[in-house]
Amino acid sequence: MSYVDEVIEAVVKKNPAEPEFHQAVKEVLESLRVVIEANEEKFRKDALLERLTEPERVFQFRVPWVDDNGQVHVNKGYRVQFNGSIGPYKGGLRFHPSVNLGIIKFLGFEQVFKNSLTGLPIGGGKGGSDFDPKGKSDREIMAFCQSFMTELCKYIGADTDVPAGDIGVGAREIGYMFGQYKRIRSVYEGVLTGKGLSYGGSLVRTEATGYGLLYFTKEMLAMNGVDIAGKTVAISGAGNVAIYAAEKAMQMGAKVVTASDSTGWIYDAEGIDLAALKEIKEVKRARLSEYKAYRPNAEYHEGKGVWSVKCDIALPCATQNELHLEDAKTLVANGCIAVAEGANMPTTLEATEYLLENGVLFAPGKASNAGGVATSALEMSQNSERLSWTFEEVDEKLQNIMVNICHNAAAAAEKYGVKGNYVVGANIAGFEKVVDAMNAQGIC
C-alpha cells in the first residue's frame, strides 16, 4: 500500500467519528501524492505524514455560564494547536452548535497550509465551542466569552498562540475575550486579532477575508484571460466574509445577485443592496427574510437554493460542505466559469472533482480565503511594533499577498504537471514550506 493510503487509513482509524477531519486530510494528502511519492522513503522513515496529521496539542475544557434567568449552562470549549513549525499557532475561534473536536481538527489542519501560503510566520491552530450565540443577549454573550477565556488564557499568548474570529465570533466577542485575558494575565499584548481599532486592531481586518477572496478571484480570472467586470456573482452566506466579498465584487464592477443565511436565501436580479444587507446583518442581527422590506422586487426563499441561480462566478462563503455534487452540476449547466471558496471547505470532494473535470476554475479556500488570517498576521506585526498602519498600507499588503498566493499555487501546479489546478498547487505550495521547517527543526 502506498504511504499516502496507509496514512489516510490510519487517520480514519485513529480518529473515529470525525468525518470532516478525514475529508480535509484526504483532500490534502491525495493532492500531494506526486510530491510524497517522489520522497516516499524519507517521508515514511521520518513519519512525516503521521506528524503532520496529529495535532501538537489539544485542549478541551468546560465552559459554564449563567443566562439572564439565572440558569446555568455548560458548553464544551476547544483549542487545537496543530502545527507550530513556522510561527505561533494562529487561527480563529468558532462558536456554533455544530462545533465538535472533529470540526476544530479539520479547521486546524486546513489552517496549517493556509497560513503557510500567506508567506507570513504563523503556525496553524483553531478553537471554539458548541455555544450558540443566536438569540442570546449581550450580557449572556459577555458571560460566555469571559468564562471561555478564563480557561483559554492558560494556553495562549502573543508569541504562543493567537486566536481570532470565525463563525459566531466577531468584534464584540473578541472585545469581551480580550478584556478578560487582560484582567487575568495582567498583560496588554496582541493575544487576539480582529480587535477593535481603539485597542490594537488593524484597519482592513474586518473586510480582509471578503476583499482577499476577490483579489484572488480577479487574479485567477485575469491569468485565464477573463475580466471580472460585468460578471454575475452568486454568493452564499451573509456573515462577515459574504458581506465584504459582495462589497469588493461590486467595486470591481461585478453584479452580486444572492446571499443566504441559516433559514433562507435572497435573489435580487438587479444586484444586492449592500447597505440593506449590512443593516440587517451587522446592525439588527436579524434574518434575511427582512430584505424584502428594503427591496420589494427581490425574492426570498426558505431553505437552500443559491446555486440554482444562473451566474458566472460562485463564491461559497457560508460554511463547510454547503456546495454538493448536484449544485456543481447545476452551476456547470448554467455556464459558471469559476468557483472560489470564501468559507473553509464549503465544497464537497465530489463537487470539487466535478467542477475541475468540467473546466471550471476552482480556488480552494485555504488559498482564496487566506486574506483574513494574513491580515491578522499584519495586525500582530503592528501590535509588536506598537504602531498602526493606514488603510491603504494594509490593503496594498493584502492585495500583494493574495496575488502572490495565486501565482505560487499556479506555479506549483504547473511544476507538477497539473496546470490550472489550484487545489493541488495550493496544497503543494503550503506543504513545502511547512515540511522544510519541520525537517530543519528535527523530530518534534
The residues of the shown chain that bind ligand GLU, judged by CB under 6 A, are: 90-92, 164, 166, 193, 344, 372-373, 376
Q: Considering 90, 105, 114, 126, which one is annotated as catalytic? A: 126
> Taking phi first (over 0 means left), then psi (-120 to 50 degrees means alpha), and beta for anything else, what does residue 417 get?
left
Min CB(433)–ligand GLU separation in Å: 17
Residue of 254, 237, 197 whose CA lies nearest to 341? 237
Q: Which three cell numbers stand for residue 116?
A: 503557510
Q: Edge-to-edge strands of the sheet including 313-316?
A: 255-256, 232-236, 313-316, 338-340, 361-363
Per the CB < 8 A criterion, the answer to whether 348 and 205 are in contact is no
Min CB(253)–ligand GLU separation in Å: 27
Min CB(175)–ligand GLU separation in Å: 15
Min CB(37)–ligand GLU separation in Å: 30
Per the CB < 8 A criterion, the answer to whether 342 and 213 are in contact is yes
Helix axes 171-185, 138-152, angle to 10 degrees: 50
Q: Toward ligand GLU, which CB reaches closer, 340 or 373?
A: 373
Q: Toward ligand GLU, which CB reaches closer, 124 or 305?
A: 124
Q: Toward ligand GLU, which CB reaches closer, 102 or 305?
A: 102
Q: Toward ligand GLU, which CB reaches closer, 164 or 277?
A: 164
Min CB(373)–ligand GLU separation in Å: 4
300: burial class by Cβ within 10 Å (0-12, 13-18, 19+)? middle
Sequence-distant (6+) residues with CB within 8 A of 405 are 117, 118, 119, 216, 367, 370, 426, 429
Q: Toward ligand GLU, which CB reaches closer, 348 or 376?
A: 376
355: burial class by Cβ within 10 Å (0-12, 13-18, 19+)? buried
Q: Toward ligand GLU, which CB reaches closer, 317 or 424?
A: 317
Cβ-closest position to ligand GLU? 92
Q: Toward ligand GLU, which CB reaches closer, 93 or 355?
A: 93
Min CB(164)–ligand GLU separation in Å: 3
Distance CA 246, CA 240 (A): 10
Min CB(43)–ligand GLU separation in Å: 27
126 given a catalytic annotation = yes
Min CB(193)–ligand GLU separation in Å: 5
Q: Toward ligand GLU, which CB reaches closer, 346 or 372?
A: 372
Q: Which residues are catalytic?
A: 126
